[in-house]
């Protein structure tokens, strides 16, 4: 295999992309610049809103996303990752046009969950914080059930409207504290309903919980960090 060159299809939102890049640096065992993972990033946020498109209220982001996939491939990337859970709705369409294979964020997360719980009993209930698009797609729920035998606890419609959606858009506006407080409340509700672990499956959520030093970070799996770890594994396997 030739040297890896990770392509990042970013911009959804731009801060989530920066967060992935930061976590790739953090997760890499390195003693000098040259040890770090080579990455090319398409961080162009002029993409129609994914949540609105999936709700039937807006233009499809697919043509713009396929353009980005093609641009990354022009630079001969070896793999592509997408630091946006919701955008995985179009994962099969990306894979169809991309010579470089794509790493699915839910596969990376399952790997991280398995590693985290290796020594302990596997969780019976996992809380999932995600957009409507991701929740409806069922990627995480299916994997939790099939691979871990675990049940998924999801936010109800009222929690989505009053906590998740405003929290997520607050982060996109740069209001991390405000967003963090709303998402912290949502995390508490899922734990209240029995979640032993939380999967923060929207890339806006981990930076927001970090900003408010949330107590739930200890039981949380951050798919962005899991995706970063997957990139580092590809680099170290070269």
Q: Return d(Cα 14, Cα 207) in angstroms, integer.
A: 12
Where in 166-195 is the site for a second copy (CB under 8 A)?
169, 172-174
19, 226 contact by CB (below 8 A): no
- The active-site residue out of 110, 113, 202, 234 is 202
Give Dmax (Cα) for the chain.
49
231 catalytic per annotation: no
Q: For residue 170, how many C-alpha atoms fall within 13 Å in the half-sphere facing its CB? A: 20
Q: Segment contacting a second copy (CB under 8 A): 12-20, 114-122, 123-131, 218-226?
A: 12-20
Q: State the Cα angle at 205 between 126 and 188, rounded to 5°.
A: 50
CB-wise, 173 or 193, nearer to a second copy?
Answer: 173
Q: Segment contacting a second copy (CB under 8 A): 38-46, 103-111, 133-141, 186-194?
A: 38-46
- The active-site residue out of 39, 77, 80, 84 is 84
CB-wise, 22 or 233, nearer to a second copy?
Answer: 22
Listed in sequence order, the DSSP H helices in 75-201 are 91-97, 105-116, 132-137, 139-148, 157-159, 165-172, 176-192
> According to the binding rule CB under 8 A, does residue 210 interact with a second copy?
no
Q: Which of 2, 56, 74, 121 binds a second copy (CB under 8 A)?
A: 74
Q: Which of 1, 2, 9, 26 binds a second copy (CB under 8 A)?
A: 26
Q: Return d(Cα 24, Cα 30) in angstroms, integer.
A: 11
Q: State the Cα angle at 83 between 66 and 124, rounded to 5°.
A: 125
Q: Which of 1, 2, 9, 41 binds a second copy (CB under 8 A)?
A: 41
For the annotated catalytic residues, the residue numbers are: 84, 202
**Can you give the binding site for a second copy, defined by CB under 8 A?**
3, 5, 11-15, 17-18, 21-22, 24-26, 30-47, 49, 71, 74-75, 169, 172-174
């Amino acid at each position: 295999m030739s040297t890896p060159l990770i392509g990042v299809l970013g911009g959804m939102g731009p801060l989530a992309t920066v967060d992935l890049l930061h976590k790739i640096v953090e997760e890499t065992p390195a003693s000098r610049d040259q040890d770090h993972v080579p990455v090319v990033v398409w961080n162009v946020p002029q993409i129609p809103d994914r949540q609105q498109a999936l709700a039937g209220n807006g233009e499809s982001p697919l043509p713009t996303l396929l353009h980005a996939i093609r641009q990354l491939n022009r630079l001969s990337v070896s793999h592509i990752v997408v630091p946006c859970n919701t955008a995985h709705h179009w994962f099969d369409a990306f894979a169809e046009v991309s010579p470089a294979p794509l790493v699915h964020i839910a596969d990376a997360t399952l790997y991280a969950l398995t590693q985290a719980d290796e020594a302990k009993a596997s969780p019976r209930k996992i809380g999932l914080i995600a957009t409507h698009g991701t929740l409806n797609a069922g990627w995480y729920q299916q994997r939790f059930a099939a691979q871990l035998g675990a049940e998924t606890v999801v936010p109800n419609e009222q929690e989505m409207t009053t906590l998740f959606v405003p929290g997520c858009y607050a982060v996109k506006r740069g209001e991390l504290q405000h967003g963090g407080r709303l998402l912290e409340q949502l995390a508490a509700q899922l734990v209240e309903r029995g979640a032993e672990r939380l999967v923060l499956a929207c890339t806006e959520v981990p930076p927001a919980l970090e900003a408010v030093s949330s107590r739930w970070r200890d039981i949380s799996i951050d798919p962005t960090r899991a995706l970063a770890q997957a990139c580092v594994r590809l680099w170290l396997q070269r």
